[in-house]
Amino acid sequence: MFAGKSEEVIRRVRRALLAKLKVQVFKPSLDTRYAAIEKIVSHNGLRLDAVPVQNARDILKLVKPDTELVAIDEAELFPNDLYKVLNELADKGLRVIVAGLDMDFRGEPFGPMPNVLAIAEKVDKLTAICVKCGMPATRSQRLINGKAAPYDTPVIHIGGKRSYEARCRHCHQVPGKNGKKAK
């Protein structure tokens, strides 16, 4: 969270459009942040039109024959078979850009992302800044009423600055994980 993943997707898509490439952008229909159903929206307010889809297979049905680049945001919200769709797109010669969280709020691999990372030709791992200590943050701290969410909280929860904070490994807390209690 707050590392600039959506912002980077938007930047790369805009560059591709400047290069006159045929681009299609997709996002999971679960992502309704900022009341932008048909847009990717970064935390700093950048917006880009996107097609919301229920599942990864829908992307294959919607990609037009002349498309050269497919961009997908919030990939962690797709089912685990996303990597198969990405492989199909890449095997057809399309350039594919994917952004998503590699870990959930528990600090564990998130949904399809381990497989997506495994098949990627190139991976750029962006980090945020820990709101507690200022070190590089690689984790998303889910908050409930200002406190660390317990381990048994559902993994999927769409939210922004009120629900999540960027944290480093040291400052990240998950009460109930490995029998630990909140500090």
Helix or strand (DSSP H, E) at 13: helix 5-18
Burial of 12 (0-12, 13-18, 19+ CB in 10 A): middle
| Bridge partner residues of 103 (DSSP) | 109
Q: Which of 38, 68, 74, 165 is catalytic?
A: 74
Radius of gyration of the chain (CA): 17
Beta-carbon-side half-sphere exposure of residue 50 (alpha carbons within 13 Å): 30
Dihedral of CA 47/12/64/21: which sign? positive
Residue that the structure tokens 């904070």 belong to: 165
End-to-end CA separation in angstroms for the chain: 22
Q: Is 74 a catalytic residue?
A: yes
Q: Work out the number of other CB atoms within 10 angstroms of the CB of residue 125.
A: 9
Q: In the numeric block, which tokens belong to residue 27?
A: 């996002």
Which positions are catalytic? 74
